[in-house]
Amino acid sequence: MTDLIPPSGIQLPISGPEFQRPDPELIKRLYGVSSATASAMLHKMGIRQTFIQGPVPRKPGSKVVGPAVTLQFMPQREDVASGLAQEGSEKKSALWSVLDAVQPGDVLTIGAHGDPYTGCLGEMLITYFKGRGGVGIVVDGCIRDWPHVQEIGVPLWTVGFTPNYASQASLYPWAYNVPTAISRVLVLPGDIIIADDDGAVMIPAQMAERVAEQTKEHEDWEVFSRMKLAEGGALKKYYPLNEEGQREYEEWRKTQG
């Protein structure tokens, strides 16, 4: 077989419905939130599976916050895509389609099962992603062309690198803008991704406003606690704040305006 041949009754690529992106002002507020604080706050809210374990930052010091555009890789099957023209069939797949769906500020979030052989993206596609206004990529898998990709400057969180193209191994780009499992984290289109040097965390879209409100206060008192601990203050008093430490913090906030 030499082309993309979907099983009877299936139209490829599969696409979910267009989703509503968050208010840009909310994204700006969340830029002040670290992935560590977001993960801890969501845990307190009862959402435990938020840290996308596996992908690590490839551009130290980078931080991205934005809505997730999802790409789902699935196990390959020979009656769907195989043969000499398999790489060319990717142009008709979700891999090309998802990039056309990217809008400025989006974070491309790819579920690839941690596969070490599938090169989910390479130099040309990442160049196009940047040109579309995408701000970062989180992939539970590998990319290719790393020496050239570094020069593009797009912040990436990946499991690793490979010389293979996207359909060369055991996976195929099947669907986009659909619910996707990324390192055992369910990411829905429009969920917000915060990624920094600690890794990538998913914030459910409907909880993002609460996270922004509560983490601002959390990080404020951590600034105060860090200052007190650096001065030799008692750990039990300042982290977390006990009643006495809380009173001191409130007074400190007044002096800071």
Flag whether 3 is in a domain: no
Which amino acid does the sequence have at 198?
D
Burial of 179 (0-12, 13-18, 19+ CB in 10 A): middle
Phi and psi at residue 171, to the nearest 5° = -120, 165
In the chain, what's the furthest Cα-to-Cα distance? 73
What type of residue is 216? K
Residue 248 three-state SS: helix
Question: Hey, how many other C-beta atoms are within 10 angstroms of the C-beta on 18?
Answer: 10
Instruction: Please tell me whether residues 41 and 97 are part of one structural domain.
Output: yes
> What pLDDT is stored for residue 82 in this prediction?
59
pLDDT at 222: 86
**Is residue 4 in some structural domain?**
no
Residue 195 located in a structural domain: yes
Residue 123 CA to residue 146 CA, distance in Å, equals 8
Is there a domain that residue 1 lies in? no
Same domain, 156 and 73: yes
Question: Whole-model pTM?
Answer: 0.88
Give me the long-range contacts of 144-147 (CB less than 8 A, separation at least 24).
Answer: 144/119, 145/119
With contact defined as beta carbons under 8 Å apart, do 66 and 196 qualify? no
Three-state DSSP class for residue 70? strand
Same domain, 197 and 216: no
Q: How many distinct structural domains can be found in the chain?
A: 2
Mean pLDDT, consecutive 10-residue stretches, the chain (257 aa), reads 59 88 96 93 94 97 98 85 61 91 98 96 98 98 97 98 92 94 96 98 96 82 92 93 93 86
Q: At 36, list the tokens.
A: 């560590």
68 with 148, same domain: the answer is yes
Residue 228 lies in domain: 210-256
Angle at the Cα of 46 (from 32 to 211), degrees rounded to 5? 20
Q: Report helix, strand or coil for 166.
A: coil
User: pLDDT for 7-43, tens place per residue?
Assistant: 666 777 889 999 999 999 999 999 989 999 999 999 9
Cα–Cα distance between 223 and 80 in angstroms, integer?
Answer: 55
Q: Last residue of a domain, which of 184, 203, 222? A: 203
Residue 239 CB burial class (10 angstroms; 0-12, 13-18, ≥19)? middle
Residues 85, 138 within the same domain: yes
Mapped onto helix, strand or coil, the DSSP state of residue 176 is: strand
